[in-house]
């Protein structure tokens, strides 16, 4: 069920959007911590803490490189400016630096960029400052200086496009640096630090690894989950149904202890609302067809949960019963990557009860690589309706059970749905609704084109997988 973390990627496709749920998953405490394991936990914690302070994160490194680029870019523009005026380097230094005048020289913009570079690199690269006050001061000073420069500068002096380009580009770069640090770098580092502080609590006071135990397809499985990532579980032989039921019940109790009472209550309330929201999404009208090649039909409509973006709906008829199709979707969520090429991995994090679970999955790159890999943590519920209709809904949640992973952008799933609707003997209509905010700066047109392709590919994969199931299990082909 668990998959190596190195195999994952990022664009949340239908897999997690629809909230794939599970039959059972839990985390079980099997041994009391020994003195050796306690020592190992302390050593691991010390190692993690040391690593956090000895290495610069990817986003902070990008910020430092941007500050360096700011200085280099400003210097290059100033050199182009002097060449445009026909000045050699010596004369340019004499006129622009030694005989500096505020209204006719633009070298002061290079000086401001240099001061900004020194301050930001010292505080955020060398000292690893966690506060935005330094960048706030440098941005406020730089902005005020540039505005005054623009107002008082004598534009008749040089008659050059660089007279306009230098202050504008300096102002743009200053605010990009501020945005990156204040809105990206510091929030991510604070979130990572909180998760690191909570990790001993999540492991129940044991070492940084957890022994997971869950029931799958009637057989008991065990998996060892190290803190660095996940490994594929190894199956063990079935012993007896009673044994499996007892293990599942015990491990479910242990699993609930990983969450606080408040969080369990919050998730229970969210799951109750999610069941209704998923059904409403299924009954929603106003869909517009964007692809119709029987038996696969793809529709879209404006998202009801985001100011921009679309929700997507796949409709297809499968040659297996609704019950069999739903079991493939719900019970075998961890095997979805075997038949769905849009998914890199899908795994169960925690079983809350028989009809509610938390799933973590990641999707492949899309749009020819323009949309990078995304991962999603989804709360899942399953329900049944009249006439044999079965469906599962899902919505993204925030939980310390799965911290953000390097190399993946954490996407957000708004309420989605997968429904299996009986459609004659041995056949069903499958409806898959996706409303995902993939985050990041991706043009809407690219997302729309990619999602149309993704949903079409998903429909074809479902058809092929259902046909293999029907052939393998000797099911009568649906008419």
Q: Considering its fold, how many domains does the chain have in total?
A: 2
Please tell me the pTM assigned to this model.
0.51
Q: What is the pLDDT of residue 373?
A: 84
Q: Which of 181, 196, 211 is the last residue of a domain?
A: 196
Which whole number is the average pLDDT over 173-192? 86
Q: Is residue 1 part of a domain?
A: no
Of residues 409 and 476, the one with the higher pLDDT is: 409
Residue 402, domain member (yes or no) = yes
Domain end, chosen from 157, 181, 196, is at 196
Chain position carrying tokens 């190290």: 226
458: in domain: yes
Arithmetic mean of pLDDT, 270-288: 91
Residues 289 and 192 in one domain: no
Query: Last residue of some domain: 178, 196, 214?
Result: 196
Q: What percent of the chain has pLDDT over 70?
A: 72
In a domain, 47, yes or no: no
pLDDT at 368: 65
Q: Looking at the structure, do residues 180 and 326 belong to the same domain, yes or no?
A: no
Which of 464, 249, 236, 444 shows the shortest CA–CA distance to 353? 249
Task: Determine, yes or no, domain membership for 218.
Answer: no
Residue 9 maps to a domain: no
439-455 pLDDT tens trace: 877 777 888 888 898 99
Q: What is the per-residue pLDDT across 289-311, written as a single tens digit (0 to 9) for each?
A: 999 998 999 999 999 888 778 99
pLDDT of 133 above 80? yes
pLDDT tens readout for residues 33-63: 334 434 444 444 444 444 444 468 888 999 9
Q: What is the 3-state secondary structure (H, E, C) of 149-203?
A: HHHHCCCCCCCCCHHHHHHHHHHHHHHHHHHHHHHHHHHHHHHHHHHHHHHHHHC
DSSP state of 478: P
Mean pLDDT, the chain, whole residue set: 76
180: in domain: yes
Q: What is the pLDDT of residues 202-251, one digit of tens each?
A: 444 433 333 333 333 333 233 333 333 333 333 333 333 344 444 444 44
The answer to whether residue 134 sits within a structural domain is yes
Q: Inform me whether the pLDDT recorded for 119 exceeds 70.
A: yes
Clarify whether residues 428 and 305 are in a common domain: yes
Provide the residue range defining the domain that includes 330. 284-473
CATH number, domain containing residue 431: 3.30.530.20
pLDDT of residue 36: 43
Which alpha helices (H) appear in 234-317, and where do they start and end? 241-256, 261-283
Output the pLDDT for position 308: 79
Is residue 351 predicted with pLDDT exceeding 70? Answer: yes
Which whole number is the average pLDDT over 66-81? 90
How buried is residue 256: exposed, middle or buried, by Cβ count under 10 Å (0-12/13-18/19+)? middle
Looking at the structure, tell me whether residues 167 and 310 fall in a common domain.
no
Task: Report pLDDT for 256.
Answer: 52
Nearest residue to 436 (alpha-carbon basis) of 278, 300, 312:
312
pLDDT at 32 over 60: no
The pLDDT, as a whole number, for residue 80 is 85
Greater pLDDT, 395 or 50? 395
Greater model confidence, 128 or 10: 128
Q: Is-cis flag, bond preceding 35, omega within 30? A: no
Residues 11/204, Cβ–Cβ less than 8 Å: no
Instruction: Write out pLDDT tens, residues 421-441.
Output: 999 888 999 999 999 988 877
Query: How far is CA 46 from each of CA 188, 197, 303, 431, rounded to the nearest angstrom?
Result: 21, 12, 46, 49
């Amino acid at each position: 069920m668990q998959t190596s973390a190195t195999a994952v990627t990022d664009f949340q496709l239908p897999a997690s959007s629809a909230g794939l749920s599970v039959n059972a998953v839990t985390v079980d405490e099997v041994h009391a911590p020994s003195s050796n394991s306690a020592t190992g936990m302390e050593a691991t914690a010390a190692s993690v803490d040391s690593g956090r302070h000895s290495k610069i994160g990817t986003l902070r490194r990008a910020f430092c490189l941007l500050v360096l680029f700011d200085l280099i870019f400003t210097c290059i523009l100033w050199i182009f400016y002097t060449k445009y005026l026909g000045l050699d380097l010596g004369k340019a230094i004499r006129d622009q630096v030694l005989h500096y005048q505020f209204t006719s020289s633009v070298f002061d913009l290079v000086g401001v960029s240099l001061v900004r570079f020194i301050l930001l690199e010292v505080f955020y690269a060398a000292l690893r400052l966690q506060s935005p006050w330094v960048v706030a001061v440098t941005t406020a000073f730089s902005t005020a200086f540039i505005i005054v420069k623009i107002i008082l500068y004598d534009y008749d002096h040089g008659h050059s496009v660089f007279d306009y380009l230098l202050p504008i580009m300096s102002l743009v770069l200053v605010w990009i640096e501020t945005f990156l640090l204040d809105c990206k770098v510091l929030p991510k580092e604070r979130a990572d630090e909180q998760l690191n502080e909570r990790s001993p609590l999540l492991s129940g006071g044991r070492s940084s690894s957890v022994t997971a135990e869950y029931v799958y397809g009637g057989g008991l499985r065990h998996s060892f989950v190290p803190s660095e990532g996940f490994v594929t579980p190894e199956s063990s032989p079935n012993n007896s149904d009673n044994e499996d039921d007892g293990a599942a019940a015990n491990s479910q109790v242990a699993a609930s202890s990983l969450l606080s009472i408040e969080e369990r209550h919050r998730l229970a309330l969210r799951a109750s609302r999610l069941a209704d929201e998923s059904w409403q999404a299924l009954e929603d009208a106003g869909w517009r067809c964007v692809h119709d090649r029987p038996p696969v039909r793809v529709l879209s409509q404006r998202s009801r949960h985001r100011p921009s973006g679309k929700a997507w709906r796949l409709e297809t008829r499968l040659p297996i019963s609704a019950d069999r199709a739903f079991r493939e979707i719900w019970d075998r969520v961890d095997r979805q990557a075997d038949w769905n090429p849009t998914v890199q991995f899908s795994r169960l994090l925690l079983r809350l009860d028989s009809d509610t679970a938390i799933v973590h999955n990641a999707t492949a790159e899309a749009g020819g690589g323009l949309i990078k890999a995304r991962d999603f943590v989804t709360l899942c519920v399953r329900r049944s309706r009249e006439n044999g209709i079965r469906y599962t809904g899902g919505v993204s949640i925030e939980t310390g059970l799965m911290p953000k992973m390097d190399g993946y952008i954490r996407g957000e799933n708004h309420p989605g749905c997968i429904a299996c609707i009986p459609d004659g003997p041995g056949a069903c209509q499958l409806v898959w609704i996706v409303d995902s905010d993939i985050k990041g700066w991706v043009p809407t047109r690219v997302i729309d084109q990619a999602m149309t392709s993704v949903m079409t590919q998903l429909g074809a994969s479902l058809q092929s997988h259902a046909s293999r199931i029907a052939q393998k299990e000797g099911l009568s082909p649906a008419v």
